[in-house]
Structure 1
Amino acid sequence: MRILVTGGAGFIGSAFVRRLLTGGAERVTVLDALTYSGNLANLAPVAGHADYAFVRGDIRDPDTVSRVMAGHDAVVHFAAESHVDRSIAGALPFVSTNVQGTQVLLDAALRHGVGRFVHVSTDEVYGSIDEGHWREDQPLAPSSPYSASKAGSDLLALACHRTHGLDVVITRCSNNYGPYQYCEKLIPLFVTNLLQGKRVPLYGDGGNVREWLHVDDHCRGIETVLRHGRAGEIYHIGGGAELTNRELVGRLLAACGADWSAVDHVADRKGHDRRYALSAEKIRDELGFAPEIDFTEGLAATVAWYRENRDWWRAPAAEAVAGA
């Protein structure tokens, strides 16, 4: 199978590419604009692979997308503006990339007869849930410009399946963590700051609840959906490890040899969802998928990776947008 991976130089996309090429059975083309969070160093472990090709380009450019799309059997679409704080500061790039860019890809996939289009989305499209777990048929209620733009792209992908018959499958995941994550997100921001003896910001009372999923489990789930998911369906890939932000920060402080004196309590984010939680019954029952990486062990390994790879993050960390 020849697979086009958009956003393949980013955190999750690069983990997926490394997984595919390490397996050795696929030909992979990465399309990435290399904006601030895209980094070719993320793909260095597979850069010399005979079945790997990289194209620098923007998913909003129809000519580039059409040229790259030709000859591929499947698309796995990661490319997106993804940081909520940045979307609150300025929503237009999120609408342009996440909505318009997705439509450009869908149009090209139809034109070139692509066999499967996997659209990678997020639990944030549902908004907040006080108790219980969202199921795949839950109505969307996004709270931020980021999640609204992802919800829009989800609906475009489903509409393309229903109107034109494109084989579309959507995945929605919980919060990811692991190596190579850009340092604006909570875990790498806090770890890299603490390793440098800097302070860290915690929003509000720290009671916001998130469910955590290791990036390697996420990529294994996406590959499962790519190969075995039903066309037109949505699959949740949940991590199952629920923590308040305050609980998570406590673990990060301990892992980095710091204490609560390093934490600044800052004003809460606008429109901050209180809790996300996904039901992962469907992907378990239909496709036999469940996460395998224990959160405590995965978090310890992630902290160790940032401690051992300071050259990778030192420059990007200085540019990161603070906030958790």
Structure 2
Amino acid sequence: MTTAAVRGDERIANVSVLRRLLVKPEFGSLIGALVVLVFFATQSDVFRSTSGVANWLDTASTVGLMAVPVALLMIGGHFDLSAGVQTGTAGLATGIMTTYWGLHVYASLVVSLLLMLAIGFLNGYLVTRTGLPSFIITLGTFLGLQGINLGVTKQVTNTVQVSNLDLVPGYRPLKDIFGSTISISGNGFQIAILWWVLFTALGSYLLLHTRFGNWVFATGGDPNASKNVGVPTGRTTIALFMLTSAFAWFVGNTQIIRFGTIQAQVGIGQELIFIVAAVIGGCLLTGGYGSVVGAAVGALIFGMTQQGIVYAGWNSDWFKLFVGAMLLLAVLANQVVRRYAEQSRR
């Protein structure tokens, strides 16, 4: 092998530690999280207290759980604008079937899971069969589910919420698994935080260490070329949409189990927050590049910012400004990092 060939082979090239870090999708979000943490910790004693940490981790966990499949879907080259409203659909379906139709709560959970998987399959199938942008397909799903959630809830309950799930048989074990707290230094940390960490680890493993993860990167990077070399891009896309719906089922049912009630409007608008978390975490809007861990860190930044503004005594109206600024900075930073990553491989 010639010297020129050795220098051009990225597998054996001598790459500095700093360069290796810079090309990691999640590196920028980790730096951003550290900056946000230090900033709000200097602004408020409550923010850095154990109770404060419990609160902003709780806020981040809900976003973080959904950021896992949303990041995978974005890496695969697609969006799901119905991801937020699907969480409401899942919780409402379980609540209505249990408290109004008399179905046992465990059976209701199974039926609502099948319902959500069907929604995810429909989204993925329509995207692959029609060739329309996932933005358009899932926007239609979003509007449809929003109307169904409100209309069916009003028709069945005569209100805009489903309540009293905490009174049905079998509720207590579910509460222990999905809605309990773990005491640390006398403060309760929601068990959802542990679920968030677990699913982030599993999602990262799936993306980086399995054949399916390779298919996700290939489908998002160049679907036509991937299809030509045997990657099942259609099945991969459908699986990603179904995975997003399955996580929506988990999050929606976690909420109704935790509180015993759920509103018909739950989840509306959250889909943009999930996408923001993924983008802040290093996912490109064009697909083919990103990180599940980075998306989780993006959710952490969201949680710290939302609670940090409150603890600092600022007007909460400024929160959306912070989210918009973080999104813009993340997109610009991701673009720079992506170009740097491409140049480092030449």
Task: Give the strand-richer structure, 1 or 2.
Answer: 1
Task: Give the TM-score taking structure 1 as reference length.
Answer: 0.25
Query: TM-score if structure 2 supplies the norm length?
Result: 0.24
From the two aligned structures, give the one with the greater helix fraction: 2
Higher relative contact order (CA 8 A, sep 6+): 2
